[in-house]
Amino acid sequence: MDLPIIYHPNYVAPIPTNHRFPMAKFQQLYELLLADGVAETEQFYTPERPSEKLIELIHTPEYVQAYCQGNLENKEQRRIGLPWSLALANRTCVAVGGTILAAELALQKGMACNTAGGTHHAFPSYGSGFCIFNDLAIASRVLQTQGIVETILIVDLDVHQGDGTAFIFQGDDSVFTFSMHCEVNFPRTKQQSDIDVPLSVGMEDDEYLQTLASYLPDLLSQIKPDLVLYDAGVDPHIGDKLGKLALTDTGIYRREMQVLSTCVAGGYPIACVIGGGYTDDMKSLVYRHSLLHRAANQVYQQYRL
């Protein structure tokens, strides 16, 4: 069996190429995984657009309808940071479907990876920081509503705190939120995750990985989740424009191996999303995102899932 990967065909939103959020990375990631032999075409699954009712398990109907129909006020649109288009609205919804599908496949096969996702700054009634709908939260609630899982652990290693996710699940014992992020970074106002680990500016590979190792195994043994959702943002990288940490490519790869191996060795299914990453060097950025899939492929084969 091969690692299941979720692919979003032609996921290239019609926004300016010089825009701060590099949408072209999604298609290029798919192409790189094929070109480098990390994955074969048979491993890729194409998600469907979920119904608005599923998105409304987390987001208010007013916000969902306003965004999908292009009726958000200018202030709300600026908070998101992406110019609206019908194509972007559709692809945003399909990306949510990709995380739902990755979660379902992870439960079936032990592990699955999305080639998008990680929109953790989206709150129930508004979007923020390039995040429109919170795919991690929606996928969690969809699987719970369907009775497929009860307890979920969200491991968020994007360099920015998963504030929307933390807010959504405050007081909800069925979804445990863990965010390890740069302490001096967006968002300015942090929410309260179940566990927040603020990191000092400039932290390098070894200290970062040791910090992660001091939390993750204990979290798994204490929570015993039915599913782990992993936001593998690569913006902790030293070359990231918005990161402020100092991980190398090797450090990112070691992080992915550490998270995936720890979960799989403990028997916990894990679904992964790529999270954030920001740089003018698109080739380097896409390679960093591919490190998740390279590590996942190795762990998947090693444990013969």
Active site residues: 121
b/e burial code for range 168-191 (CB count within 10 A of at least 16 → b):
bbeeeeebbbbbbbbeebbeeebb
Q: Could you give the C-alpha distances from 258 to 72, 193, 284, 295, in angstroms and in order? A: 41, 22, 22, 9
b/e map 261-286, b = 16+ CB within 10 Å: ebbbeeebbbbbbbbbbbbeeeeebb
- DSSP conformational letter for 42: G
127: nearest Cα among 84, 158, 87: 84
Do 64 and 55 meet the contact criterion of CB atoms below 8 Å apart? yes
C-alpha 170/C-alpha 193 separation (Å) is 7
Distance of alpha carbon 116 from alpha carbon 12, whole angstroms = 11
Residue 268 DSSP code: -
- What is the Cα–Cα distance from 29 to 143, expressed in whole angstroms? 27
Q: d(Cα 28, Cα 14) in Å, to the nearest integer? A: 16
For residue 154, the cross-strand partners are 177, 229
